[in-house]
Structure 1
Amino acid sequence: MTTYHSFSRSGAPTLLGLAVLLTACGTDDEPDYTAPDHICDTPIAAEALRSLLPSGKELEAAPVPGVETTCEVSVDSTLHIDITGYAVIGALDPFEDARTLPLENTVEENWGPEIPAVLADNGAVVSLPCGTGDGTDALLVRIRIYGDHVPEDERRDRVTAFTRSYVTGLAEQLDCDARPAAPDSQ
């Protein structure tokens, strides 16, 4: 398990004074952890990850052993993001799969040739044409977001940005030919 912590906070009176000043000015709670640029060995845009998480002291991103590939992201031991990937033979329909999940306010998108996606306020399901080297030729990625710390009017955009970043990183990690198209090119 990888645990990410913030930079050391010891011995810096100037930083302490600045922190008191910022707190007095009424800024949002800032996390004590630094968002990483990889979770469970997958490259991720740190800001896309950070935008979905609450403030807290410790961020953990750990793979969970099992039949499928699973990654859980927690802050202060509370689960906030659950990612499950299934390597399959023949692409699975993310639209059909999304119907079995408790996703809120779903929309369907196409992120490129053979990369259909279902996006919601609390998660996403994406199909990626790429195998894992064991005879499979597609991945189905399910992402679930927990908690109500993200403003309701920003949830879908933040979930979409995180999902696009994660799926792009997964494609890079697995050396897939397919990559989600940039939002401008859709």
Structure 2
Amino acid sequence: MTRTIRGLVLAAALCVLAGCSSSDDYTVPDALCGVTVGSEPLAPLLPDGEKLDQSTKTLNAESSTCSVSVDKKQAVYVTDDVTDADTDPVAVQRDALARMGNPQKAAVGDDARIADQGGVAVGVCTYQGGRHKFVTLVDLTSERPVPKGTADRRKALESFLRAYLPKAMEAKGCRK
């Protein structure tokens, strides 16, 4: 019995030292499809399960998507886009945000909306020598999004976007 407890304590300590957290049998990664944000912002958005998979698709130099699945069921879907400075990404995403439920303005980046099951965040940046906007849309696609409580889920989404947006901008070469 004490050997089992020591093993659990050791495993938890190693996970803390490695900068990860786990949900049942999988380890929450420090990077989301190549963007290093740490596991803490992503962990609350993921359901329990046994196996986590990530899939990245680069559509072109300015656009990419990332799908995170747990036990072969999509849980989180993220899109990153560099757009023209004149584009209003929140207006472009109006229908998607409405579908996600009750979008509200949030203090993330230069503009953001957090909804019940997703959100969008915008950062103004310099990309390839010109002024642009970087847009991240996160959609909790799980049938039962987590955290269970809507207020907690919205708070977790805002925390995730706050951590993810600047790192994703940097990864795409979009400088603040």
TM-score range, shorter chain: 0.7 to 0.9
Residue in structure 1 matching 2:102, options 97, 100, 105: 105
| TM-score, length of structure 2 as denominator length | 0.74
Q: CA deviation at 1:65?
A: 4.2
Q: 2:157 maps to what in 1? A: 159
Q: CA deviation at 1:60?
A: 1.3
Q: CA deviation at 1:150?
A: 1.9
Aligned residues: 155
| TM-score, length of structure 1 as denominator length | 0.71
Q: What pairs up with 1:40-59 in 2 under 5 angstroms?
A: 40-59=33-52
Q: CA RMSD in A?
A: 2.7
Q: Is the 8 A contact 1:45 1:162 kept in 2?
A: no
Q: 1:35 maps to what in 2? A: 28
Higher helix share: 2
- In structure 2, relative to structure 1, the CA distance for the partners of 1:17 and 1:38 (3 Å cut) is closer
The question of 1:72 aligning with 2:62 is answered: no
Please list every run of 5 or more consecutive structure 2 residues that lacks an aligned counterpart in the other structure: 9-21
SS at match of 2:27: coil
The question of 1:14 aligning with 2:4 is answered: yes
Q: Is the 8 A contact 1:72 1:82 kept in 2?
A: yes
Alignment partners' CA distance in 1, 2:45 and 2:36 = 16
Residue in structure 1 matching 2:83, options 88, 109, 118: 88
Q: 2:122 maps to what in 1? A: 127
Q: CA deviation at 1:71?
A: 0.7
Q: CA deviation at 1:144?
A: 0.5
Alignment partners' CA distance in 1, 2:41 and 2:79 = 18
- In structure 2, relative to structure 1, the CA distance for the partners of 1:132 and 1:15 (3 Å cut) is farther
SS at match of 1:129: strand
Select the structure of larger CA radius of gyration. Answer: 1
- Aligned-pair identity (%): 27
Q: Is the 8 A contact 2:84 2:133 kept in 1?
A: yes
Q: Is the 8 A contact 1:91 1:140 kept in 2?
A: no
Please list every run of 5 or more consecutive structure 1 residues that lacks an aligned counterpart in the other structure: 1-12, 19-28, 179-186
